[in-house]
Structure 1
Amino acid sequence: MSTKTIQGTPAWLRATNDRTALSLLLTHGPLTRNRIGELSGLSKPTASQMVQRLNEAGLIHAVGEVSAGRGPNAASYGVRVDRVLGIAVDISATVIAATLVDASGSVHPIVEIPVQRQAKGRSAVSDVRTAIDAACAANGADRAAVQFVCVGVQAAIDPRTDELSFTDTLPGWPRIGVRKLLEDSLGIAVTIENDVNLAALAERRGGAVADASGFALLWMGPGLGLAVDLGGTLHRGAGGGAGEIGYLPVPKAAAQFDPDADDLQDLIGGPAVVRLARDHGLRGRGFSSLIKQFGVEQVGKGAAPGPREHLIAELAPRIALGVIPVLAVLDPEVVVLGGPTGIAGGDQLAERVQAHLRRTSRWAPVVVASTVAAYPVLTGARAVLVAEVRERLLRDVERIATP
């Protein structure tokens, strides 16, 4: 075993102290040597030695000065967040979105790359490489500093076999060994995650359900998905296929809404929402355009119900039917309505669904609209990557522990 890993040795103590200092800088932002000493409980000389070692190793750098009263100003130090980078990627049927992620967790510009669903020459490697290059270019970042990528996909991922299923929106992607293929081809660590699971991570970290004991996120867009959070842990299923709720057969009660519906995708998926929106007077060329109109709040209380209100009234009982199987099996404290349809429907739709469930079923969950409206998949991927980038920087401390 290496000397630097043996507890109680000087090298171990240096590594422990330096990790503490770097952790403080990651948590609090730029700090002076004295402030690092105060927060760590270590002496000023020890704090100065930690800062010197981290600075010489290129892990931190001076970023400014802080007034020290009558004496000279004190230098403040921050983490070199450009040293290790990640790229968050969201691949949908029509767009690849990507953004840079660093240890600070700051939000960086997002790039969107239109793609053709059946475009020739697409592959997993080309999709992800294009996303990485575009995100780096948009932020002026060094491509060589990218060590991690987290990719959200509309598919189920079996962690045991590195196998993808339900891959309709990923032309050219292999079903077996995609993570290994990407890591070997790109030379970086790759995480592949279901897009709705990443959206659920975003809800847990900064949404309306941050303090809930558990919740279910019903994602409604062109397709349907479900993410289940059990006490802060995502339930992915034995083969990663938990949450493919669009394939769930509809109950007999759904015949009153659509006698031809065979599954939940037929009842509340994108094509069904488009049809209902047009029936109620909304006009648009496709799902995105109609959802944009649906998301416009009605102006003025007491006004006569318009297309939005009529559409909400018709969608709510359909959604409630889709939620009941989830309640029967998992009984989550909160149900979040997310995805384009859930976000566009907002609080009005959530309140209607909640009222319908409480009136017609044995369950009484709280139903809320997603509060992570902008790029929820990228937001979840960013959370994954911030943790990975920070851990890599902290591990780098061990490299400087032995003189």
Structure 2
Amino acid sequence: MHAPLAAAAGRTASPATARLINDRLALQLLQSEGPLTAGQLKNLTGLSRPTVADLVDRLQAAGLVAVVGESGAQRRGPNARLYGIVADRAHLLGLDLRTRTLTVAVADLLGRVRAERTVPIGAPATADRPATTSDTTPAALATALAAVDATLAEAGATGPHALAIGAPGLVDPVTGRLGGSAPTWHDALIGALRERRTGTLLLENEVNLAALAEQRDGAARDRDTFVLLWLGHGTGAAVVLDGAVRRGASGGAGEIGFLPVPGTGGLPSATGCDGGFHSLAGSAAIGRLAAEHGRPAPPADGPERTDAPPAEALVRDAVAAGDAAAAFLDALAARIALGVSGVCAVLDPGCVVLGGEIGRAGGAPLAERVADHLARLSPLRTDVRAGTVGGRAVLRGAVLAARDAAQDDLFGPAG
């Protein structure tokens, strides 16, 4: 699969462009396959031995590749040396912003996490005090920046080559700014990190980053087109078509919580998704559904828990209960299938991955039930899968996005 690309590049591109394409191809192979000899690179790329020798020399001179061992071949020599990417050539920073927590990860150029921490941000919400940090932004910002700096120090990184931030809300494709009703410390932190100018900064909706993680490391590794349905405190979706995340004209692609569906007793509006799919599949709705089926419900009073919704425990317990909770899981699956059917009717993605806290808790048993209901609602063949990356999907997606940006800078843009 690699040889035609390299050969075509050599025939049609200028020498400088051909070198750039060949170098990146070799680096991609070293990333995906691990350390390789020059002979293995020759076989995998279809390039000539002198061309491979030249590119190895260039990559070593640039500090991107180093000799990491020997292949164990009986004949010793240049071809027996194992070349690998210099992982510490760049450090990556990934951030997962929630309403009242921040998770930070620092990774190397291969995407391996070197340090990670989660810190609470702002004062805890109470029944009398909603979850907001608008009046404590300076303290929240100081806590967040301290967490970033401490994680970088733990990883031995002076600064990131690239950083990616996953946050709730829409990211305006024109201004690159975060919209919606996110806590004010989110904007403050993003602004502070931009001012540091220590590397490429990417701001992305959290569900889109979770989809990237499922595409690279999880349930959608064999799919170029799929939809990730995020089921947690709220609902959302990420649309991946032909290998690329599609954000829409205003960044709002995937706002499935506003999708009108039967069974809500109303319609959503421009200012709220009550009456839309969110009213059937959000964590509060799942709690009420569980109570209707005799399952223990989350407390009616008290603050909303956006980072660990009680519905997650309800679904996990129901899966463990088996037949005793079958009616509840089936009713939940029927609700989820309504949203999925709307997605399928418009996009025909062929595959839908159930992610978020609820998707993770329901696992394969919930996904199978959703698939059964969907087959009765839609004529389109759609594979419904449980997400496999888990609760770290947003953070993992942020690290992967930062790695892509760093590699585009260091390896040259993808062809």
TM-score interval, smaller chain? 0.7 to 0.9
Aligned partners of 2:120 and 2:70: how far apart in 1? Answer: 44
Aligned partners of 1:85 and 1:206: how far apart in 2? Answer: 20
Contact 1:123–1:173, Cα closer than 8 Å, also in 2:
no
Label 1:262 to 1:381 Cα distance change in 2 as closer, same or farther (>3 A). Answer: same
Aligned partners of 2:243 and 2:402: how far apart in 1? Answer: 17
My pick for the range that moved more, 217-226 or 329-338, is 329-338
Aligned partners of 1:281 and 1:297: how far apart in 2? Answer: 8
Alignment of 1:57-76 (within 5 A): 57-69=62-74, 75-76=81-82
- Of the two, which has the highest radius of gyration? 1
Contact 2:311–2:358, Cα closer than 8 Å, also in 1:
no
Partner deviation per Cα, 1:13-40 (whole Å, 9 max, x = no partner): 8767765654553343334455556656
Equivalenced residue count is 374
Q: Which amino acid aligns with 1:277?
A: A
Is it true that 1:161 corresponds to 2:161 in the alignment?
no
Q: Which amino acid aligns with 1:82?
A: D
Is it true that 1:202 corresponds to 2:218 in the alignment?
no
Is it true that 1:281 corresponds to 2:295 in the alignment?
yes
Label 1:386 to 1:37 Cα distance change in 2 as closer, same or farther (>3 A). Answer: same
Contact 1:91–1:152, Cα closer than 8 Å, also in 2:
yes
Label 1:359 to 1:207 Cα distance change in 2 as closer, same or farther (>3 A). Answer: same
Candidates 306, 313, 318, aligned match of 1:292: 313
Matched residue SS, 1:271: helix
Residue of structure 1 equivalent to 2:230:
219
Q: Which amino acid aligns with 1:368?
A: R
Residue of structure 2 equivalent to 1:152:
166
Label 1:171 to 1:50 Cα distance change in 2 as closer, same or farther (>3 A). Answer: same
Gaps of 5+ in 2: 1-12, 123-130, 267-273, 300-304
Aligned partners of 1:309 and 1:108: how far apart in 2? Answer: 42
Label 1:359 to 1:84 Cα distance change in 2 as closer, same or farther (>3 A). Answer: same
My pick for the range that moved more, 316-325 or 264-273, is 316-325
Label 1:20 to 1:110 Cα distance change in 2 as closer, same or farther (>3 A). Answer: same
Is it true that 1:187 corresponds to 2:198 in the alignment?
yes
Alignment of 1:82-231 (within 5 A): 82-116=88-122, 117-119=131-133, 120-121=136-137, 129-138=145-154, 140-144=155-159, 146-168=160-182, 170-174=183-187, 182-212=193-223, 214-231=225-242
> Structure 1 length as normaliser, TM-score?
0.78
Contact 1:245–1:264, Cα closer than 8 Å, also in 2:
yes
Matched residue SS, 1:69: coil
Aligned partners of 2:351 and 2:29: how far apart in 1? Answer: 34
Contact 1:215–1:229, Cα closer than 8 Å, also in 2:
yes
Contact 2:115–2:152, Cα closer than 8 Å, also in 1:
no
Partner deviation per Cα, 1:155-212 (whole Å, 9 max, x = no partner): 10111122322233x323449xx96764233432110111111111222223333334
Residue of structure 2 equivalent to 1:324:
341
Contact 2:341–2:377, Cα closer than 8 Å, also in 1:
no
Is it true that 1:30 corresponds to 2:40 in the alignment?
no
Q: Which amino acid aligns with 2:205?
A: N
Label 1:237 to 1:124 Cα distance change in 2 as closer, same or farther (>3 A). Answer: farther
Is it true that 1:394 corresponds to 2:411 in the alignment?
yes
Contact 2:121–2:143, Cα closer than 8 Å, also in 1:
no
> How far apart are 1:222 and its partner, in Å?
0.7
Identity %: 35
Residue of structure 2 equivalent to 1:400:
none
Residue of structure 2 equivalent to 1:239:
250
Residue of structure 2 equivalent to 1:267:
280
> How far apart are 1:103 and its partner, in Å?
2.3
Residue of structure 2 equivalent to 1:399:
none
Label 1:158 to 1:127 Cα distance change in 2 as closer, same or farther (>3 A). Answer: farther
> How far apart are 1:392 and its partner, in Å?
2.5
